Amino acid sequence: MNYDVIVAGLGGMGSSAAYHLAARGKRVLGLERFGPAHDRGASHGGSRITRQSYFEDPAYVPLLLRAYELWERLERDSGRDLMTLTGGLMMGAPDSVTVDGSRRSAEQWGLPHEMLDAAEIRRRFPVFRPAPGDVALFEAKAGLLRPEAAVEANLALAAGHGAELRFHEPVEAWSEDGEGVTVRTAAGTYRAGALVLCPGAWAPELLADLGVPIVVTRQVQFWFAPEGGIEPFRPEVQPIFIWEGPADTQVYGFPALDGPDGGIKVAFFRGGEATTPETIDRSIRPAEIEEVAAHLATRVPAAAGRYLRGKTCMYANAPDKHFVVGRHPAHERVTVACGFSGHGFKFVPVVGEILADLALTGETAHPIALFDPGRP
């Protein structure tokens, strides 16, 4: 057997899995269809939100607590600045998913948080213009992550522990037999005892027999130069935010991370048309810029300044929007990890730990029943 484990896909989750496996002394081959820390999938864009008061489901919170520990370890081991805690506002009507779900998770797990009414939001964070009935959950431990730097850190540490990483070598096919797995690329055929598949938006292609209908959508991130300059949007004073408005529309944003010329990043959460990695339109349409600017103008007026740039990415999600993590139902030597888009990057280090557990032993102590690939 050439390798103990092959990891296919070296974005956020795959790079972390390769690192954790190599750090355990395993012979690891990592395969990636593009270059390291590329911008063709979903692990790019300069920033990702991290938070613990999780509106998606309280079941995620134990994983987040472990992820925070592992982010700190990854920073120490790599010597890189990967996580900045700015605080975070989850805003909207009191019964909105964003607010009510965040509060339920915070209360269930005893997470420190504050509930703010509209007047208090305006007083403490004057760039925002909440409606009279809006409220917010403020979480001091929320903040942001640097996705490209995190992927680079994982890859460097994986290589340092002996992992063989091959870029610009996409997986064309894989199979399992009684003794191991075979993975074929245009450059060659490889054998290993186990396979970890982290295909991102290529899940419909590489996991066609999984039984989970992964849907890929086009998403756009926008950067604006705020009116009056970045001073009110510095990370020291401006938290990350997720703001839910009418018709369940959510917009999220970040402070100014990259100096006077870097602008502030905002985007709509989810939505977007169905696409594929081969057909995605990577141009930024004027109507899209106008839509997000108009949305900001009534909520964060100073943010709706001069448009600087935009960047597309792809979300790949299961119908219930929960992750898909576990042994492949039909292939016991194959571990799958997909469906993270929109809220997954903050889990990168703990998912890497989970995938290493599953690939080597078939089980993990982490609570992942919600993510079972065989769930209804």
Could you read off the pLDDT of 239-251 as tens digits, one per residue? 999 999 988 889 9
How far is it, in rounded angstroms, from Cα 352 to Cα 355?
Answer: 5
pLDDT band at 99 (very low <50, low <70, confident <90, very high): very high
| pLDDT reported for residue 84 | 97
pLDDT band at 43 (very low <50, low <70, confident <90, very high): very high
| pLDDT reported for residue 246 | 86
Closest CA to 129 of 256, 251, 302, 292: 302
How far is it, in rounded angstroms, from Cα 127 to Cα 290?
Answer: 20
Percent of the chain with pLDDT over 90: 93
Query: Between these two residues, 247 and 367, which has the higher pLDDT value?
Result: 367
CB 154 within 8 A of CB 19: yes
Backbone angles phi, psi at 145, to 5 degrees: -125, 155
CB 336 within 8 A of CB 373: yes
Q: What is the tens place of the pLDDT at every residue in 341-354? A: 989 999 999 999 99
- In one letter, which amino acid is 88? G
- As given in the structure block, the two tokens for residue 314 are 């792809």
| pLDDT reported for residue 366 | 98
| Helix or strand holding residue 122 (H, E) | helix 118-124
Q: What is the tens place of the pLDDT at every residue in 180-225? A: 999 999 999 999 999 999 999 999 999 998 988 999 999 999 999 9
Q: Which of 86-90, 136-140, 193-197, 203-207 has the lowest mean pLDDT?
A: 203-207
Q: What is the tens place of the pLDDT at every residue in 307-342? A: 999 999 999 999 999 999 999 999 999 999 999 998
Q: What is the tens place of the pLDDT at every residue in 262-312? A: 999 999 998 889 999 999 999 999 999 999 999 999 999 999 999 999 999
Average pLDDT of the segment spanning 122-128: 97
What SS3 class is residue 201? helix
Backbone angles phi, psi at 359, to 5 degrees: -65, -35
| pLDDT reported for residue 367 | 97
pLDDT band at 1 (very low <50, low <70, confident <90, very high): low
Q: Rounded mean pLDDT of the chain?
A: 96
33 has pLDDT over 80: yes
Distances (CA, A) of 242 to 80, 98, 273, 304, 318: 26, 7, 21, 16, 22
| pLDDT reported for residue 271 | 81
Q: What DSSP string describes 81-121?
A: --EE---EEEEE-TTSIIIIIHHHHHHHHT---EEEEHHHH
| pLDDT reported for residue 260 | 85
What SS3 class is residue 292? helix
- The model carries a pTM of 0.96
